A and B are shown apart, each in its own frame.
Chain A
Amino acid sequence: MQMSTGSKKRTIEQLAATVSDSTDFPDIDTAPGLRTLDTALRCPICCELFSGPVTLRCGHCFCSLCIRGSLAQKQECPSCRKGEENEGHLRVNPVVEEAVEAWSKARPFILQLLHRGGRLSGSNSSSESGPSNKRKRSNPDSDSDIELVAPPSGHKTGIGSGTVFSKPQEPMLAASPAETPCPVCGKTVKHEIINQHLDSGCKTFHLNNSKTAWSKIMGPRVDPGKNKQTQAKGKERSLSVEGEALPKVSYDTLKDKQIKQLLQDQGLATLGNRALCIARHQKWVMLWNSNLDKAPKNRKSKSQLRSDLDQWLQEKHESKSKVVVEDTFGHQKKYESEFKRLTEEARPKKAVSSQLSDSREATSSEAKYTDATSSTSSPVKLLSQSPQSPHHDGDNNEIEVL
Protein backbone atom coordinates (compact mmCIF):
# COMPACT_ATOMS: atom_id res chain seq x y z
CA MET A 1 0.00 0.00 0.00
CA GLN A 2 2.70 2.41 1.00
CA MET A 3 4.72 1.41 -1.99
CA SER A 4 1.86 2.11 -4.30
CA THR A 5 1.19 5.53 -2.84
CA GLY A 6 4.87 6.28 -3.12
CA SER A 7 4.99 5.34 -6.76
CA LYS A 8 1.78 7.22 -7.36
CA LYS A 9 3.34 10.28 -5.85
CA ARG A 10 6.30 9.87 -8.11
CA THR A 11 4.14 9.63 -11.21
CA ILE A 12 2.15 12.70 -10.29
CA GLU A 13 5.32 14.66 -9.69
CA GLN A 14 6.82 13.42 -12.91
CA LEU A 15 3.76 14.32 -14.86
CA ALA A 16 3.48 17.70 -13.20
CA ALA A 17 7.08 18.38 -14.14
CA THR A 18 6.75 17.24 -17.75
CA VAL A 19 3.42 18.66 -18.84
CA SER A 20 3.71 21.92 -20.64
CA ASP A 21 1.67 24.87 -19.53
CA SER A 22 1.71 28.63 -19.55
CA THR A 23 3.87 28.83 -16.47
CA ASP A 24 6.77 27.56 -18.55
CA PHE A 25 7.15 31.18 -19.52
CA PRO A 26 8.31 33.88 -17.15
CA ASP A 27 5.65 36.11 -15.64
CA ILE A 28 4.17 39.20 -17.17
CA ASP A 29 6.77 41.59 -15.77
CA THR A 30 9.63 39.63 -17.22
CA ALA A 31 8.22 38.60 -20.56
CA PRO A 32 5.09 40.56 -21.36
CA GLY A 33 2.53 38.69 -23.40
CA LEU A 34 4.21 35.32 -23.68
CA ARG A 35 2.31 33.63 -20.91
CA THR A 36 -0.95 35.23 -21.96
CA LEU A 37 -0.38 34.15 -25.53
CA ASP A 38 0.24 30.59 -24.44
CA THR A 39 -2.91 30.60 -22.31
CA ALA A 40 -4.93 32.09 -25.14
CA LEU A 41 -4.01 29.20 -27.42
CA ARG A 42 -5.03 26.59 -24.88
CA CYS A 43 -8.39 24.93 -24.52
CA PRO A 44 -9.90 26.01 -21.20
CA ILE A 45 -11.19 22.49 -20.64
CA CYS A 46 -8.13 20.29 -21.14
CA CYS A 47 -5.53 23.10 -20.85
CA GLU A 48 -3.66 21.68 -23.84
CA LEU A 49 -2.95 23.63 -27.00
CA PHE A 50 -6.12 23.56 -29.10
CA SER A 51 -6.63 20.38 -31.06
CA GLY A 52 -9.30 20.86 -33.69
CA PRO A 53 -10.49 24.20 -32.33
CA VAL A 54 -14.19 24.97 -32.72
CA THR A 55 -16.22 27.98 -31.66
CA LEU A 56 -19.68 28.14 -30.19
CA ARG A 57 -22.18 30.83 -31.08
CA CYS A 58 -20.95 32.98 -28.21
CA GLY A 59 -17.48 32.93 -29.76
CA HIS A 60 -15.73 30.86 -27.14
CA CYS A 61 -13.28 28.36 -28.51
CA PHE A 62 -12.54 24.79 -27.34
CA CYS A 63 -11.00 21.59 -28.61
CA SER A 64 -13.63 19.81 -30.62
CA LEU A 65 -13.42 16.67 -28.51
CA CYS A 66 -13.51 18.56 -25.20
CA ILE A 67 -16.55 20.65 -26.01
CA ARG A 68 -18.38 17.65 -27.41
CA GLY A 69 -17.77 15.85 -24.15
CA SER A 70 -18.93 18.87 -22.19
CA LEU A 71 -22.03 19.45 -24.32
CA ALA A 72 -23.00 15.82 -23.82
CA GLN A 73 -23.25 16.64 -20.11
CA LYS A 74 -24.71 20.09 -20.31
CA GLN A 75 -25.80 22.10 -23.29
CA GLU A 76 -24.20 25.41 -22.54
CA CYS A 77 -20.95 27.21 -23.12
CA PRO A 78 -18.59 26.24 -20.27
CA SER A 79 -17.02 29.70 -20.30
CA CYS A 80 -19.99 32.05 -20.35
CA ARG A 81 -22.82 29.61 -19.59
CA LYS A 82 -24.82 30.77 -22.57
CA GLY A 83 -27.38 28.04 -22.92
CA GLU A 84 -29.02 26.08 -25.67
CA GLU A 85 -25.81 25.15 -27.37
CA ASN A 86 -25.45 21.85 -29.12
CA GLU A 87 -23.01 20.13 -31.41
CA GLY A 88 -24.78 21.55 -34.43
CA HIS A 89 -23.66 25.01 -33.40
CA LEU A 90 -19.99 24.15 -33.48
CA ARG A 91 -18.02 25.87 -36.18
CA VAL A 92 -14.47 24.96 -37.02
CA ASN A 93 -11.92 27.66 -36.43
CA PRO A 94 -9.11 27.16 -38.95
CA VAL A 95 -7.48 30.46 -38.06
CA VAL A 96 -6.90 29.40 -34.48
CA GLU A 97 -5.74 26.01 -35.70
CA GLU A 98 -3.10 27.66 -37.84
CA ALA A 99 -2.04 29.90 -35.00
CA VAL A 100 -1.69 26.89 -32.71
CA GLU A 101 0.33 25.04 -35.29
CA ALA A 102 2.72 27.94 -35.63
CA TRP A 103 2.88 28.46 -31.88
CA SER A 104 3.62 24.83 -31.15
CA LYS A 105 6.67 25.19 -33.34
CA ALA A 106 7.68 28.60 -32.00
CA ARG A 107 7.14 27.60 -28.38
CA PRO A 108 10.21 25.39 -27.86
CA PHE A 109 12.28 27.86 -29.83
CA ILE A 110 11.27 30.79 -27.66
CA LEU A 111 11.74 28.73 -24.51
CA GLN A 112 15.19 27.84 -25.70
CA LEU A 113 16.01 31.47 -26.29
CA LEU A 114 14.72 32.39 -22.85
CA HIS A 115 16.68 29.57 -21.35
CA ARG A 116 19.87 30.56 -23.07
CA GLY A 117 19.38 34.14 -21.95
CA GLY A 118 18.69 32.94 -18.44
CA ARG A 119 21.87 30.92 -18.30
CA LEU A 120 23.99 33.82 -19.51
CA SER A 121 22.83 36.00 -16.66
CA GLY A 122 22.18 33.12 -14.30
CA SER A 123 25.70 33.18 -12.83
CA ASN A 124 24.76 36.33 -10.91
CA SER A 125 23.50 36.04 -7.37
CA SER A 126 20.00 34.65 -7.24
CA SER A 127 18.84 37.30 -4.78
CA GLU A 128 19.12 39.84 -7.54
CA SER A 129 16.21 38.35 -9.34
CA GLY A 130 14.90 41.63 -10.74
CA PRO A 131 17.85 42.76 -12.78
CA SER A 132 18.91 39.26 -13.77
CA ASN A 133 15.46 38.64 -15.11
CA LYS A 134 15.65 41.79 -17.12
CA ARG A 135 18.88 40.71 -18.66
CA LYS A 136 17.41 37.31 -19.21
CA ARG A 137 14.81 38.87 -21.38
CA SER A 138 16.90 41.44 -23.12
CA ASN A 139 19.33 38.87 -24.36
CA PRO A 140 16.94 36.71 -26.30
CA ASP A 141 15.16 39.82 -27.39
CA SER A 142 18.20 41.21 -29.04
CA ASP A 143 18.80 37.83 -30.57
CA SER A 144 15.36 37.65 -31.94
CA ASP A 145 15.61 41.22 -33.18
CA ILE A 146 18.32 40.17 -35.46
CA GLU A 147 16.87 36.88 -36.47
CA LEU A 148 13.21 37.59 -36.74
CA VAL A 149 12.72 41.26 -37.43
CA ALA A 150 15.51 41.71 -39.88
CA PRO A 151 14.09 39.71 -42.77
CA PRO A 152 10.85 41.68 -43.13
CA SER A 153 12.66 44.98 -42.86
CA GLY A 154 15.02 43.94 -45.65
CA HIS A 155 12.01 42.92 -47.61
CA LYS A 156 10.42 46.26 -47.03
CA THR A 157 13.31 48.33 -48.22
CA GLY A 158 13.84 46.04 -51.15
CA ILE A 159 10.35 46.44 -52.48
CA GLY A 160 9.63 50.04 -51.79
CA SER A 161 7.34 52.34 -49.90
CA GLY A 162 7.44 50.10 -46.86
CA THR A 163 4.58 51.35 -44.74
CA VAL A 164 2.30 48.52 -45.79
CA PHE A 165 4.32 45.57 -46.75
CA SER A 166 1.55 43.16 -47.42
CA LYS A 167 0.41 45.23 -50.37
CA PRO A 168 3.36 44.82 -52.67
CA GLN A 169 3.11 41.09 -52.19
CA GLU A 170 -0.47 40.84 -53.28
CA PRO A 171 -0.27 41.31 -57.02
CA MET A 172 2.62 38.88 -57.12
CA LEU A 173 0.63 36.19 -55.42
CA ALA A 174 -2.76 36.83 -56.94
CA ALA A 175 -2.14 36.58 -60.65
CA SER A 176 0.52 36.73 -63.28
CA PRO A 177 0.74 40.07 -65.09
CA ALA A 178 -1.11 38.63 -68.06
CA GLU A 179 -4.22 38.16 -65.95
CA THR A 180 -6.36 40.54 -63.94
CA PRO A 181 -9.23 39.94 -61.59
CA CYS A 182 -12.46 41.16 -63.16
CA PRO A 183 -13.70 44.17 -61.20
CA VAL A 184 -17.29 42.98 -61.55
CA CYS A 185 -17.33 39.23 -61.06
CA GLY A 186 -13.95 38.89 -59.41
CA LYS A 187 -12.82 36.00 -61.60
CA THR A 188 -9.38 36.02 -63.09
CA VAL A 189 -9.44 36.94 -66.73
CA LYS A 190 -6.68 37.30 -69.24
CA HIS A 191 -5.67 40.90 -69.64
CA GLU A 192 -6.27 41.08 -73.41
CA ILE A 193 -9.86 39.94 -73.21
CA ILE A 194 -10.94 41.82 -70.10
CA ASN A 195 -12.95 44.33 -72.15
CA GLN A 196 -14.63 41.60 -74.12
CA HIS A 197 -15.42 39.86 -70.88
CA LEU A 198 -16.94 42.96 -69.34
CA ASP A 199 -18.94 43.78 -72.46
CA SER A 200 -20.54 40.38 -72.44
CA GLY A 201 -21.72 40.88 -68.89
CA CYS A 202 -19.02 38.65 -67.37
CA LYS A 203 -20.22 35.70 -69.42
CA THR A 204 -17.49 35.08 -71.94
CA PHE A 205 -14.25 33.53 -70.99
CA HIS A 206 -11.76 32.33 -73.44
CA LEU A 207 -12.16 28.62 -73.06
CA ASN A 208 -8.49 28.05 -72.55
CA ASN A 209 -8.24 31.02 -70.30
CA SER A 210 -10.99 30.02 -67.98
CA LYS A 211 -9.55 26.59 -67.65
CA THR A 212 -6.13 27.85 -66.75
CA ALA A 213 -7.68 30.41 -64.50
CA TRP A 214 -9.58 27.79 -62.60
CA SER A 215 -6.61 25.53 -62.35
CA LYS A 216 -4.64 28.47 -61.05
CA ILE A 217 -7.22 29.03 -58.37
CA MET A 218 -8.13 25.46 -57.58
CA GLY A 219 -5.22 23.48 -58.87
CA PRO A 220 -2.36 24.15 -56.54
CA ARG A 221 -4.65 23.82 -53.54
CA VAL A 222 -6.32 20.56 -54.32
CA ASP A 223 -3.85 18.48 -56.22
CA PRO A 224 -0.69 18.45 -54.16
CA GLY A 225 -2.67 18.01 -50.99
CA LYS A 226 -4.50 15.02 -52.30
CA ASN A 227 -1.39 13.48 -53.71
CA LYS A 228 0.50 13.92 -50.53
CA GLN A 229 -2.20 12.36 -48.44
CA THR A 230 -2.87 9.39 -50.64
CA GLN A 231 0.76 8.76 -51.25
CA ALA A 232 2.01 9.25 -47.76
CA LYS A 233 -0.63 7.61 -45.66
CA GLY A 234 -2.40 5.26 -48.00
CA LYS A 235 -6.02 4.19 -47.98
CA GLU A 236 -6.73 4.60 -44.31
CA ARG A 237 -5.71 8.18 -44.37
CA SER A 238 -7.79 9.15 -47.34
CA LEU A 239 -10.73 7.32 -45.83
CA SER A 240 -10.64 9.42 -42.73
CA VAL A 241 -10.13 12.60 -44.69
CA GLU A 242 -13.09 12.05 -46.92
CA GLY A 243 -15.37 10.75 -44.21
CA GLU A 244 -18.57 12.48 -43.31
CA ALA A 245 -19.74 13.47 -39.89
CA LEU A 246 -21.68 10.73 -38.13
CA PRO A 247 -25.16 11.61 -36.96
CA LYS A 248 -26.15 11.35 -33.33
CA VAL A 249 -28.10 8.23 -32.53
CA SER A 250 -31.01 7.93 -30.15
CA TYR A 251 -30.04 4.58 -28.76
CA ASP A 252 -33.19 4.18 -26.72
CA THR A 253 -35.20 3.55 -29.84
CA LEU A 254 -32.84 0.87 -31.12
CA LYS A 255 -32.66 -2.81 -30.40
CA ASP A 256 -29.42 -4.44 -29.30
CA LYS A 257 -29.00 -5.90 -32.75
CA GLN A 258 -29.29 -2.53 -34.43
CA ILE A 259 -26.74 -1.02 -32.10
CA LYS A 260 -24.34 -3.84 -32.90
CA GLN A 261 -24.98 -3.22 -36.56
CA LEU A 262 -24.03 0.41 -36.07
CA LEU A 263 -20.76 -0.69 -34.51
CA GLN A 264 -20.15 -3.17 -37.30
CA ASP A 265 -20.71 -0.50 -39.90
CA GLN A 266 -17.90 1.43 -38.31
CA GLY A 267 -15.70 -1.65 -38.08
CA LEU A 268 -15.79 -1.68 -34.28
CA ALA A 269 -16.00 -4.51 -31.82
CA THR A 270 -19.47 -5.60 -30.80
CA LEU A 271 -18.45 -7.27 -27.55
CA GLY A 272 -20.05 -6.51 -24.24
CA ASN A 273 -23.51 -5.65 -23.10
CA ARG A 274 -25.84 -3.03 -24.45
CA ALA A 275 -24.53 -0.25 -22.20
CA LEU A 276 -20.97 -0.89 -23.24
CA CYS A 277 -21.91 -0.99 -26.92
CA ILE A 278 -23.71 2.30 -26.60
CA ALA A 279 -20.82 3.86 -24.74
CA ARG A 280 -18.43 2.60 -27.38
CA HIS A 281 -20.50 3.94 -30.24
CA GLN A 282 -21.09 7.29 -28.53
CA LYS A 283 -17.41 7.77 -27.92
CA TRP A 284 -16.62 6.72 -31.46
CA VAL A 285 -19.03 9.30 -32.90
CA MET A 286 -17.39 11.93 -30.71
CA LEU A 287 -13.87 10.94 -31.72
CA TRP A 288 -14.82 10.69 -35.37
CA ASN A 289 -16.66 13.98 -35.61
CA SER A 290 -14.07 15.90 -33.64
CA ASN A 291 -11.41 14.48 -35.92
CA LEU A 292 -13.25 15.97 -38.89
CA ASP A 293 -13.06 19.39 -37.29
CA LYS A 294 -9.32 19.38 -37.77
CA ALA A 295 -7.60 20.47 -40.94
CA PRO A 296 -7.18 17.45 -43.24
CA LYS A 297 -3.45 17.31 -42.71
CA ASN A 298 -3.86 17.22 -38.93
CA ARG A 299 -6.45 14.47 -38.91
CA LYS A 300 -5.84 11.08 -37.43
CA SER A 301 -6.28 7.94 -39.44
CA LYS A 302 -9.13 5.60 -38.74
CA SER A 303 -6.80 3.11 -37.08
CA GLN A 304 -5.42 5.82 -34.82
CA LEU A 305 -8.92 6.77 -33.82
CA ARG A 306 -9.64 3.14 -33.15
CA SER A 307 -6.68 2.84 -30.82
CA ASP A 308 -7.82 6.03 -29.08
CA LEU A 309 -11.16 4.38 -28.53
CA ASP A 310 -9.52 1.23 -27.22
CA GLN A 311 -7.41 3.25 -24.83
CA TRP A 312 -10.46 5.09 -23.58
CA LEU A 313 -12.31 1.83 -23.02
CA GLN A 314 -9.34 0.35 -21.25
CA GLU A 315 -9.03 3.33 -18.95
CA LYS A 316 -12.70 3.12 -18.23
CA HIS A 317 -12.41 -0.55 -17.46
CA GLU A 318 -9.28 -0.13 -15.37
CA SER A 319 -10.60 2.58 -13.16
CA LYS A 320 -13.64 0.44 -12.52
CA SER A 321 -11.95 -2.85 -11.85
CA LYS A 322 -9.19 -1.40 -9.72
CA VAL A 323 -11.60 -0.21 -7.11
CA VAL A 324 -13.53 -3.45 -7.13
CA VAL A 325 -10.45 -5.58 -6.56
CA GLU A 326 -9.23 -3.45 -3.72
CA ASP A 327 -12.51 -3.06 -2.00
CA THR A 328 -14.85 -5.96 -2.29
CA PHE A 329 -14.47 -7.83 0.98
CA GLY A 330 -13.03 -5.18 3.19
CA HIS A 331 -15.60 -2.77 2.00
CA GLN A 332 -18.42 -5.16 2.54
CA LYS A 333 -17.30 -5.96 6.04
CA LYS A 334 -16.57 -2.40 6.93
CA TYR A 335 -19.97 -1.18 5.90
CA GLU A 336 -21.95 -4.28 6.72
CA SER A 337 -23.88 -2.67 9.50
CA GLU A 338 -24.50 0.37 7.44
CA PHE A 339 -25.78 -1.66 4.53
CA LYS A 340 -28.17 -3.41 6.85
CA ARG A 341 -29.33 -0.17 8.32
CA LEU A 342 -29.85 1.27 4.87
CA THR A 343 -31.84 -1.63 3.58
CA GLU A 344 -33.93 -1.56 6.72
CA GLU A 345 -34.49 2.11 6.34
CA ALA A 346 -35.36 1.81 2.71
CA ARG A 347 -38.06 -0.77 3.23
CA PRO A 348 -40.65 0.97 5.37
CA LYS A 349 -40.31 4.06 3.25
CA LYS A 350 -42.23 2.32 0.53
CA ALA A 351 -45.36 3.30 2.30
CA VAL A 352 -44.48 6.96 2.58
CA SER A 353 -42.60 7.29 -0.67
CA SER A 354 -44.48 10.44 -1.54
CA GLN A 355 -42.72 12.22 1.25
CA LEU A 356 -40.04 14.36 -0.29
CA SER A 357 -37.03 14.60 1.92
CA ASP A 358 -33.32 15.00 1.73
CA SER A 359 -32.78 12.04 3.93
CA ARG A 360 -34.50 9.65 1.60
CA GLU A 361 -32.47 10.89 -1.26
CA ALA A 362 -29.31 10.63 0.73
CA THR A 363 -30.06 7.09 1.72
CA SER A 364 -30.54 5.81 -1.74
CA SER A 365 -27.64 7.73 -3.08
CA GLU A 366 -25.32 6.39 -0.48
CA ALA A 367 -26.27 2.93 -1.47
CA LYS A 368 -25.50 3.92 -5.00
CA TYR A 369 -22.13 5.23 -4.08
CA THR A 370 -21.10 2.11 -2.29
CA ASP A 371 -22.30 0.18 -5.25
CA ALA A 372 -20.14 2.17 -7.58
CA THR A 373 -17.08 1.31 -5.56
CA SER A 374 -17.75 -2.35 -5.16
CA SER A 375 -20.10 -3.88 -7.60
CA THR A 376 -20.05 -7.24 -5.93
CA SER A 377 -21.32 -6.24 -2.53
CA SER A 378 -24.70 -7.83 -2.34
CA PRO A 379 -26.83 -5.39 -0.37
CA VAL A 380 -26.71 -2.87 -3.13
CA LYS A 381 -26.76 -5.15 -6.09
CA LEU A 382 -30.31 -4.10 -6.74
CA LEU A 383 -29.05 -0.77 -7.85
CA SER A 384 -26.35 -1.86 -10.17
CA GLN A 385 -28.64 -1.89 -13.17
CA SER A 386 -28.75 1.85 -13.21
CA PRO A 387 -26.32 3.38 -15.65
CA GLN A 388 -23.34 4.67 -13.78
CA SER A 389 -23.49 8.34 -14.36
CA PRO A 390 -22.13 10.34 -11.51
CA HIS A 391 -24.53 13.16 -12.08
CA HIS A 392 -27.67 13.68 -10.19
CA ASP A 393 -29.74 10.79 -11.26
CA GLY A 394 -30.70 10.08 -7.71
CA ASP A 395 -34.38 10.30 -8.45
CA ASN A 396 -34.38 7.55 -11.00
CA ASN A 397 -32.58 5.27 -8.67
CA GLU A 398 -34.94 5.86 -5.86
CA ILE A 399 -37.73 4.50 -7.90
CA GLU A 400 -35.74 1.38 -8.51
CA VAL A 401 -34.83 0.90 -4.91
CA LEU A 402 -38.10 1.57 -3.29
Chain B
Amino acid sequence: MASISARRLAKELHEIQTEGCPVGINLLQADDFAAWQFTIEVMGESLYQGEVFTLLFRFDKHYPISSPAVQFVVTDGKTSPVHPHVYSNGHICASILGNEWSPVLSVIAVCLTLQSMLASCKKKERPPDNDRYVRHAPDNPKKTQFHYDGNSP
Protein backbone atom coordinates (compact mmCIF):
# COMPACT_ATOMS: atom_id res chain seq x y z
CA MET B 1 0.00 0.00 0.00
CA ALA B 2 1.64 3.08 -1.21
CA SER B 3 1.41 6.29 0.73
CA ILE B 4 -1.35 8.79 0.12
CA SER B 5 0.95 11.21 -1.67
CA ALA B 6 2.25 8.50 -4.01
CA ARG B 7 -1.24 7.29 -4.84
CA ARG B 8 -2.51 10.78 -5.41
CA LEU B 9 0.43 11.59 -7.70
CA ALA B 10 -0.02 8.31 -9.52
CA LYS B 11 -3.63 9.26 -10.20
CA GLU B 12 -2.59 12.65 -11.49
CA LEU B 13 0.01 11.07 -13.72
CA HIS B 14 -2.47 8.51 -14.96
CA GLU B 15 -4.88 11.26 -15.88
CA ILE B 16 -2.14 13.18 -17.67
CA GLN B 17 -1.20 10.07 -19.60
CA THR B 18 -4.73 9.17 -20.61
CA GLU B 19 -6.17 12.64 -21.08
CA GLY B 20 -3.11 14.57 -22.09
CA CYS B 21 -2.09 17.98 -20.80
CA PRO B 22 -3.87 21.26 -21.54
CA VAL B 23 -2.70 23.20 -24.58
CA GLY B 24 0.76 24.66 -24.15
CA ILE B 25 1.74 22.34 -21.32
CA ASN B 26 3.68 19.13 -21.79
CA LEU B 27 4.97 16.54 -19.43
CA LEU B 28 8.72 16.41 -19.75
CA GLN B 29 9.69 14.01 -17.04
CA ALA B 30 8.00 12.14 -14.20
CA ASP B 31 10.29 9.32 -13.16
CA ASP B 32 9.41 9.25 -9.50
CA PHE B 33 7.21 10.83 -6.89
CA ALA B 34 9.80 13.41 -5.91
CA ALA B 35 10.19 15.68 -8.93
CA TRP B 36 8.35 16.24 -12.19
CA GLN B 37 9.12 18.57 -15.06
CA PHE B 38 6.79 20.23 -17.52
CA THR B 39 7.32 22.53 -20.44
CA ILE B 40 5.02 25.50 -20.52
CA GLU B 41 4.34 28.08 -23.17
CA VAL B 42 1.74 30.76 -23.52
CA MET B 43 -0.63 30.22 -26.39
CA GLY B 44 -2.13 33.06 -28.38
CA GLU B 45 -1.05 36.65 -28.16
CA SER B 46 1.17 37.51 -25.27
CA LEU B 47 4.50 39.01 -24.37
CA TYR B 48 5.98 35.52 -24.27
CA GLN B 49 5.11 34.40 -27.76
CA GLY B 50 7.37 31.63 -28.95
CA GLU B 51 9.10 31.22 -25.59
CA VAL B 52 9.06 27.81 -23.94
CA PHE B 53 9.87 27.48 -20.26
CA THR B 54 10.46 24.47 -18.08
CA LEU B 55 8.70 24.07 -14.75
CA LEU B 56 10.06 21.92 -11.96
CA PHE B 57 7.71 20.45 -9.36
CA ARG B 58 9.09 18.94 -6.19
CA PHE B 59 6.80 17.00 -3.90
CA ASP B 60 7.24 16.03 -0.30
CA LYS B 61 5.48 13.19 1.47
CA HIS B 62 2.74 15.46 2.76
CA TYR B 63 1.49 16.30 -0.71
CA PRO B 64 -1.31 17.22 -1.35
CA ILE B 65 -1.77 18.59 2.17
CA SER B 66 1.39 20.61 1.70
CA SER B 67 2.06 22.45 -1.52
CA PRO B 68 4.59 21.30 -4.09
CA ALA B 69 7.72 23.38 -4.54
CA VAL B 70 7.39 24.91 -8.00
CA GLN B 71 9.95 26.90 -9.91
CA PHE B 72 11.20 27.55 -13.42
CA VAL B 73 14.31 25.64 -14.44
CA VAL B 74 17.23 27.96 -15.10
CA THR B 75 19.99 25.44 -15.72
CA ASP B 76 21.11 23.78 -18.97
CA GLY B 77 20.48 26.91 -20.98
CA LYS B 78 16.89 27.20 -19.84
CA THR B 79 15.66 30.52 -18.58
CA SER B 80 12.87 31.81 -16.42
CA PRO B 81 10.36 34.21 -17.94
CA VAL B 82 10.90 37.88 -17.32
CA HIS B 83 7.86 38.65 -15.21
CA PRO B 84 7.18 40.86 -12.16
CA HIS B 85 6.51 37.76 -10.06
CA VAL B 86 9.28 35.52 -11.33
CA TYR B 87 12.83 35.88 -10.06
CA SER B 88 15.76 35.26 -12.31
CA ASN B 89 16.63 32.10 -10.36
CA GLY B 90 13.28 30.66 -11.38
CA HIS B 91 11.47 31.20 -8.10
CA ILE B 92 7.87 32.26 -8.42
CA CYS B 93 5.99 34.57 -6.12
CA ALA B 94 2.46 33.20 -6.41
CA SER B 95 0.12 32.91 -3.49
CA ILE B 96 -1.29 29.53 -4.50
CA LEU B 97 2.16 28.05 -4.10
CA GLY B 98 2.37 29.38 -0.57
CA ASN B 99 -0.34 30.24 1.89
CA GLU B 100 -3.14 30.03 -0.66
CA TRP B 101 -2.36 26.44 -1.58
CA SER B 102 -5.27 24.09 -1.24
CA PRO B 103 -5.06 20.30 -1.32
CA VAL B 104 -7.79 20.18 -3.95
CA LEU B 105 -5.43 21.83 -6.40
CA SER B 106 -3.36 19.62 -8.66
CA VAL B 107 -0.18 19.77 -10.69
CA ILE B 108 -2.12 20.64 -13.80
CA ALA B 109 -4.09 23.30 -11.95
CA VAL B 110 -0.83 24.94 -10.91
CA CYS B 111 0.47 24.80 -14.49
CA LEU B 112 -2.68 26.46 -15.75
CA THR B 113 -2.50 29.19 -13.12
CA LEU B 114 1.11 29.96 -14.02
CA GLN B 115 0.25 29.92 -17.70
CA SER B 116 -2.46 32.49 -17.14
CA MET B 117 -0.13 34.48 -14.92
CA LEU B 118 2.26 34.76 -17.86
CA ALA B 119 -0.50 35.37 -20.37
CA SER B 120 -1.88 38.34 -18.48
CA CYS B 121 1.49 40.01 -18.04
CA LYS B 122 1.51 43.64 -19.16
CA LYS B 123 5.16 44.47 -18.90
CA LYS B 124 8.21 42.26 -19.02
CA GLU B 125 10.25 43.10 -15.98
CA ARG B 126 11.86 41.41 -13.02
CA PRO B 127 10.58 41.86 -9.48
CA PRO B 128 12.01 45.04 -7.92
CA ASP B 129 14.02 43.12 -5.32
CA ASN B 130 15.26 40.52 -7.77
CA ASP B 131 18.99 40.99 -7.27
CA ARG B 132 18.82 41.01 -3.51
CA TYR B 133 16.58 37.98 -3.38
CA VAL B 134 18.53 35.91 -5.88
CA ARG B 135 21.78 36.53 -4.07
CA HIS B 136 20.51 34.83 -0.92
CA ALA B 137 17.66 32.72 -2.15
CA PRO B 138 17.31 29.22 -0.75
CA ASP B 139 17.47 26.28 -3.08
CA ASN B 140 13.89 25.39 -2.34
CA PRO B 141 11.42 28.22 -3.02
CA LYS B 142 9.10 26.85 -0.35
CA LYS B 143 11.59 28.04 2.22
CA THR B 144 11.00 31.61 1.22
CA GLN B 145 8.26 33.56 2.81
CA PHE B 146 6.93 35.74 0.05
CA HIS B 147 4.81 38.76 0.67
CA TYR B 148 1.90 38.59 -1.71
CA ASP B 149 0.92 42.11 -2.52
CA GLY B 150 -2.34 41.21 -4.13
CA ASN B 151 -1.73 42.47 -7.64
CA SER B 152 -0.87 39.09 -8.97
CA PRO B 153 -3.27 37.63 -11.47
8 pairs from A and B in contact (CB 8 Å cutoff): A16-B11, A21-B14, A44-B103, A45-B64, A319-B61, A362-B137, A366-B143, A390-B142
Given contacts A8-B31, A69-B65, contact A394 B143 (CB under 8 A): yes
Residues of B with C-beta under 8 A to A390: 60, 62, 66, 142
Q: Compute how far the CA of A44 lies from the CA of B104 in the bound complex, rounded to whole angstroms.
A: 5
Tell me if A145 is interfacial: C-beta within 8 Å of chain B.
no
Main secondary structure on chain A at its contact with chain B?
Answer: helix
User: Nearest-CB distance from A32 to chain B (Å)?
Assistant: 17
Interchain CB contact under 8 A, A363 and B140: no
Q: Mark interface residues in A298-327 (1 if CB within 8 Å of B CB, else 0).
A: 000000000000010001100100000000
Tell me if B124 is interfacial: C-beta within 8 Å of chain A.
no
- Residue among A8, A70, A362, A369 having the largest count of chain B Cβ atoms under 10 Å: A362
Residues of A with C-beta under 8 A to B151: none
Tell me if B48 is interfacial: C-beta within 8 Å of chain A.
no
Interchain CB contact under 8 A, B7 and A15: yes
Residues of A with C-beta under 8 A to B126: none
Q: Which residue of A lies closest to B133 (CB)?
A: A358
Q: How many residues of B contact A (CB 8 A)?
A: 45
Q: Mark interface residues in B1-24 (1 if CB within 8 Å of A CB, else 0).
A: 111101111111111011100000
Q: Compute how far the CA of A315 lies from the CA of B61 in the bound complex, rounded to whole angstroms.
A: 9
Q: Compute how far the CA of A311 lies from the CA of B99 in the bound complex, rounded to whole angstroms.
A: 29
Q: How many residues of A contact B (CB 8 A)?
A: 47
**Interface hits, B102-153 → A, CB 8 Å:** 102-104, 129, 132-133, 135-140, 142-145
Residues of B with C-beta under 8 A to A45: 8, 64-65, 103-104
**Interface hits, A24-69 → B, CB 8 Å:** 44-48, 66, 69
Q: Beyond A21-B14, A74-B99, A391-B66: 11 further Cβ-contacts under 8 Å?
A: A12-B13, A15-B2, A16-B13, A78-B103, A360-B136, A362-B136, A362-B143, A366-B143, A369-B139, A394-B143, A394-B144
Interchain CB contact under 8 A, B138 and A365: yes
Residues of A with C-beta under 8 A to B103: 44-45, 66, 70, 78
Tell me if A166 is interfacial: C-beta within 8 Å of chain B.
no
Q: Compute how far the CA of A395 lies from the CA of B145 in the bound complex, rounded to whole angstroms.
A: 9
Interface residues of A, Cβ cutoff 8 Å to B: 5, 8-9, 12, 15-19, 21-23, 44-48, 66, 69-70, 73-74, 78-79, 81, 311, 315-316, 319, 345, 357-363, 365-366, 368-370, 390-392, 394-395
- Residue among B66, B135, B137, B143 having the largest count of chain A Cβ atoms under 10 Å: B143
Q: Mark interface residues in B32-64 (1 if CB within 8 Å of A CB, else 0).
A: 110000000000000000000000000011101
Tell me if B98 is interfacial: C-beta within 8 Å of chain A.
yes
Interchain CB contact under 8 A, B143 and A47: no
Q: Compute how far the CA of A365 lies from the CA of B102 in the bound complex, rounded to whole angstroms.
A: 23
Q: Compute how far the CA of A370 lies from the CA of B140 in the bound complex, rounded to whole angstroms.
A: 9
Residues of A with C-beta under 8 A to B62: 390
Interchain CB contact under 8 A, A19 and B32: no
Residues of A with C-beta under 8 A to B136: 345, 358-360, 362-363, 366
Q: Compute how far the CA of A22 lies from the CA of B19 in the bound complex, rounded to whole angstroms.
A: 11
Interchain CB contact under 8 A, B145 and A392: yes
